[in-house]
């Protein structure tokens, strides 16, 4: 009854505890396929620069699955002065039949994990199966999550080289992966890229990170940092040399790497997954492949629904009276 309705709350630690990699990857994969076949809808993006940071809203739904919701998220760099994460996100699921809120979830861990899972799906579909060397730009939360998932899904991956904005070593980042791979700073951006099979860019997107000619044939790139108008990580001319996929073309042309190369032929990643990936899509071994990852609402919502279901099954979270 409306006067007995409840709202389920999942805080930071509760949400993180329920995020199992296999379940997250399955939910994100479903989101891509729903997007590809038109069952899932993505509503217009809100992404605004504020004096203290960037604020955005990603929303959408799958009416056949009674899934409707949004994520309000952004980046406030000043938070780091207080020992807090600059990225902040909150996810809300609604009942599409009534509009009543059903579940409120701290979205930071969800955002990090679903993005890394999407990147892992990109690697499985587009990177060469014999890829042994990875170069990552950035050593923050997002970069670490992407390296973690890459090592999970690519058994041949043995070497990781990382680049920081100031060129310094990051002992904490190295320690996190030291037992799983050969990890060390890259000698230089171009040298690290040229010596890698996979390149992951996970930075604030302040400008091109390396030279286009450093990318050798057969390299795959997961591009994460460009998620706002004006952000950029790739050098001019690189997308034209590559076969390009985006999680959502409209969004990528607005806020992703494709905003800098709008005439570049590109496809949506969900169609590649539906078609069976690299081998079945006729991608030659010497082809440069590029995944422009801006993050879509359906990823957040599919993972949030999985968390809601697991929370209800395990008694996790707090129920608050929410009459309507």
pLDDT number for residue 1:
72
- The tokens of 173 are what? 């980042």
Residues in the chain predicted with pLDDT less than 50, given as ranges, are: none
CA angle 210, 295, 160 (to 5 degrees): 40
- β-sheet bridge partners, residue 243: 289
pLDDT number for residue 282:
73
From-to residues of CATH 3.40.50.720 in the chain: 127-294
What would the pLDDT profile of 253-300 be if each residue is shown by its tens digit? 999 999 999 999 999 999 999 987 665 567 899 999 999 999 999 999
pLDDT number for residue 80:
86
Size of the chain in residues: 324
- How far apart CA 219 and CA 257 sit, in angstroms, is 17
User: Can you state the percent helix, strand and coil of the chain, rounding each to 5?
Assistant: 40, 25, 35
Provide the CATH topology of domain 127-294.
Rossmann fold (3.40.50)
What would the pLDDT profile of 56-85 be if each residue is shown by its tens digit? 999 999 999 999 999 999 999 899 899 888
From-to residues of CATH 3.30.1780.10 in the chain: 2-110+298-321
CA angle 79, 83, 89 (to 5 degrees): 50
CA contacts within 13 A on the Cβ side of 160: 27
CB 307 within 8 A of CB 106: no
In the chain, alpha helices (H): 12-18, 21-36, 108-126, 141-153, 171-177, 189-194, 238-241, 249-255, 269-275, 297-314
- β-sheet bridge partners, residue 94: 68, 101
Q: For 2-110+298-321, which CATH superfamily applies? A: ornithine cyclodeaminase, domain 1 (3.30.1780.10)
CA contacts within 13 A on the Cβ side of 15: 24
- Sequential DSSP letters for 219-272: -EEEE-S--STT-B-SPTTHHHHEEEEES-HHHHHHHSGGGG-TTS-EEEHHHH
pLDDT number for residue 79:
93
pLDDT number for residue 4:
87
- How far apart CA 287 and CA 298 sit, in angstroms, is 29
pLDDT number for residue 280:
58
Helix (H, G, I), strand (E, B) or coil at 64: helix
- How far apart CA 60 and CA 278 sit, in angstroms, is 28
CA angle 80, 85, 90 (to 5 degrees): 140
CB 105 within 8 A of CB 316: no
- The tokens of 177 are what? 């992966």
- How far apart CA 234 and CA 225 sit, in angstroms, is 10
pTM (two decimals): 0.94
pLDDT number for residue 279:
55
pLDDT number for residue 281:
65
Residue with tokens 């309507």: 324
CA dihedral 304→309→310→316, nearest 10 degrees, is 90
The DSSP element (H or E) to which 105 belongs, if any, is strand 101-106
């Amino acid at each position: 009854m409306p006067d007995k309705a409840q709202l389920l709350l999942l805080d930071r630690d509760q949400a993180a505890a329920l995020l199992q990699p296999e379940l997250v990857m399955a939910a994100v994969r479903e989101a891509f396929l729903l997007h590809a076949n038109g069952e899932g809808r993505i509503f217009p993006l809100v992404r605004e620069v504020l004096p203290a940071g960037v604020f955005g809203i990603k929303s959408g739904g799958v009416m056949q699955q009674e899934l409707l919701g949004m994520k309000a998220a952004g980046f406030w760099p000043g938070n780091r002065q207080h020992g807090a994460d600059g990225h902040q996100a909150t996810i809300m699921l609604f009942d599409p039949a009534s509009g009543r809120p059903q579940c409120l979830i701290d979205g930071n861990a969800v955002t990090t994990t679903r993005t890394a899972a999407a990147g892992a799906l990109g690697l499985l579909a587009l990177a060469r199966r014999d890829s042994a060397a990875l170069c990552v730009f950035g050593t923050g939360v997002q970069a670490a999550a992407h390296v973690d998932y890459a090592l999970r899904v690519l058994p041949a991956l043995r070497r990781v080289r990382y680049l920081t904005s100031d060129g310094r070593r990051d002992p904490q980042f190295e320690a996190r992966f030291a037992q799983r791979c050969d990890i060390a700073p890259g000698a230089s951006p171009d040298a690290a890229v040229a010596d890698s099979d996979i390149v992951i860019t996970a930075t604030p997107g302040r400008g091109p990170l390396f030279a286009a000619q450093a990318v050798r044939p057969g390299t795959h790139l997961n591009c994460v940092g460009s998620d706002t108008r004006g952000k950029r990580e790739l050098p001019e001319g690189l997308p034209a040399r590559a076969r390009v996929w985006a999680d959502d073309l409209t969004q990528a042309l607005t806020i992703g790497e494709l905003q800098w190369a709008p005439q570049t032929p590109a496809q949506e990643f969900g169609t590649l997954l539906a078609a069976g990936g690299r081998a079945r899509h006729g991608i030659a071994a010497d082809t440069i492949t590029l995944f422009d990852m801006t993050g879509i609402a359906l990823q957040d919502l599919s993972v949030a629904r999985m968390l809601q279901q697991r929370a209800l099954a395990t008694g996790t979270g707090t129920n608050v009276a929410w009459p309507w």
